[in-house]
Amino acid sequence: MTETLSASCVVVGGGPAGMMTAYLLARAGVDVVVLERHADFFRDFRGDTIHPSTMQVMLELGLLEEFLRVPHQVVTHAELEMAGERLRVADFTHVPTRCKFIAFMPQWDFLNFLAEKGRAFSSFHLLMEAEARALVRENGRVVGVRARRPSGETEIRAPLVIGADGRQSAMRDDAGVRARDIGAPMDVLWFRLSHREREHHAVLGRIEAGQALVMLDRQEYWQTALIIPKGTLDAVKALGLEAFRARIARLARRDDADDIRSWDDVKLLSVKVDRLERWHQPGLLFIGDAAHAMSPIGGVGINLAIQDGVAAANILADPLSRGGVTERDLARVRRRRWLPTCATQAIQVAIQNNVISPVLHGSQALRVPGVLRLAQRWPVLQRLPARLIGVGIRPEHVRTPARSPAPS
């Protein structure tokens, strides 16, 4: 038998976009159900960056002080080693927000924090191990979602379904919408390297002809990314694990990379850059990666997802608490977030085409681009990339009221 629940809004996906939207809507008194297919937030690595703009949102919510008690690392600068030269590319110490740094925090700690704060509101309902399987439609309008839970089938009916189910969005498939593929020349292999003594750099990119390595300092280990030409994982594997380890050891300037015990320790991020032209249908809205998968350049996917959540809640909390949203309301969310999405993707694609592609496909010696040289001579120029990464274009601010009792 199918259990039936009802709410004012169903959010499919408990990632950064879904959890932020649900938290803000619940705080504004909107009855919201979040469906997350996993039993918890502990998953493979998928980015640990908390941006200054997210911490600004936390400040506006009165949660910053407590949030910063969650263990994290403070990153104030990003550096690159190119053609043997050490270059500083971004200086976060001047971004126009309270926190002038990027916090490195496991994504599950961030999501658990939001979940715990959300649960303090009676209007916040987080259903874990609840996999949305299909949209429910009536008279050409989405009126809910059917989900599979350990207890059986559940139908959750609501005037609005928000698809925040990530880049492989099943809700998007069910709605029959297709994202426009903008393309990416690379894939990323993620793995961990143990920390060695006397190594201390918070973020380090290392670019050589034909390859690029990014190392994120997680204190006990380096979260490391090898950027490879798109679709070449099989070719990398064909050379054998020993050759891969030797390649990584050389690039990471260490004696060995024996921390990589098998290919199971190496995770592929198949890089995608895409976006929906239309983010909504009657009763349905897509946000976050489900609306626009970002390139990993700059590590801004989480930031954009959260900003979408803030914008969606700002625009929709009022109509939802009055009992219904119109297509015009949904179109306003897309309009609000269109410029930051397209402009950020355009910058990423320009870097992909002008820096990453030539590096990956070139075998000649690399030369440091003029703009990076200028940024070494005039460090003030390092503030621009920091602002784009840390704050982004058209940052969102919390406008939703706190109608539900404040979390204790």
Ligand X SMILES: Cc1cc2nc3c(=O)[nH]c(=O)nc-3n(C[C@H](O)[C@H](O)[C@H](O)COP(=O)(O)OP(=O)(O)OC[C@H]3O[C@@H](n4cnc5c(N)ncnc54)[C@H](O)[C@@H]3O)c2cc1C
Given 29, 159, 185, 288, the residue binding ligand X (CB under 6 A): 288
Q: Which stretch binds ligand X (CB under 6 A): 39-47, 90-98, 278-286, 310-318?
A: 39-47
The smaller minimum CB distance to ligand X, of residues 29 and 166, is found at 166
> At closest approach, how far in Å is the CB of 294 from ligand X?
6
Tell me the C-alpha distance between 50 and 59, whole Å. Answer: 13
Region 156-185 residues binding ligand X, contact defined as CB under 6 A:
164-166, 170
**Which 8-state DSSP code applies to residue 84?**
T
- 382: its two tokens: 């390092």
Q: Which stretch binds ligand X (CB under 6 A): 15-23, 69-77, 257-265, 312-320?
A: 15-23
The smaller minimum CB distance to ligand X, of residues 106 and 301, is found at 301
Given 31, 289, 329, 396, the residue binding ligand X (CB under 6 A): 289
The smaller minimum CB distance to ligand X, of residues 74 and 374, is found at 74
CB 163 within 8 A of CB 309: no
The smaller minimum CB distance to ligand X, of residues 290 and 386, is found at 290
Each as own residue / partner, the long-range contacts of residues 125-129 (CB below 8 Å, 24 or more positions apart, any chain) are 125/7, 125/31, 125/32, 125/33, 125/34, 126/14, 126/22, 126/33, 126/34, 126/36, 127/33, 127/34, 127/35, 127/36, 127/154, 128/14, 128/36, 128/38, 128/39, 128/40, 129/36, 129/37, 129/38, 129/39
> At closest approach, how far in Å is the CB of 108 from ligand X?
10
Q: Site mask, ligand X, residues 300-339, x = CB under 6 A? A: xxxx-x----------------------------------
Given 8, 9, 11, 15, the residue binding ligand X (CB under 6 A): 15
Q: According to the binding rule CB under 6 A, does residue 37 interact with ligand X?
A: yes
Residue 215: closest CA among 230, 200, 229: 200
Given 14, 229, 319, 395, the residue binding ligand X (CB under 6 A): 14
Rg (CA), the chain: 22
**DSSP readout, 190-250?**
EEEEE--TT---SEEEEEETTEEEEEEE-SSEEEEEEEEETT-HHHHHHT-HHHHHHHHHH
Q: According to the binding rule CB under 6 A, does residue 344 interact with ligand X?
A: no
CB 27 within 8 A of CB 404: yes
Q: According to the binding rule CB under 6 A, does residue 128 interact with ligand X?
A: no
Given 25, 26, 35, 75, the residue binding ligand X (CB under 6 A): 35
- 139: its two tokens: 């008279």
Name the residues that contact ligand X, by CB under 6 A.
12-18, 35-38, 45-47, 49, 131-132, 164-166, 170, 190, 269, 288-290, 294, 296, 299-303, 305
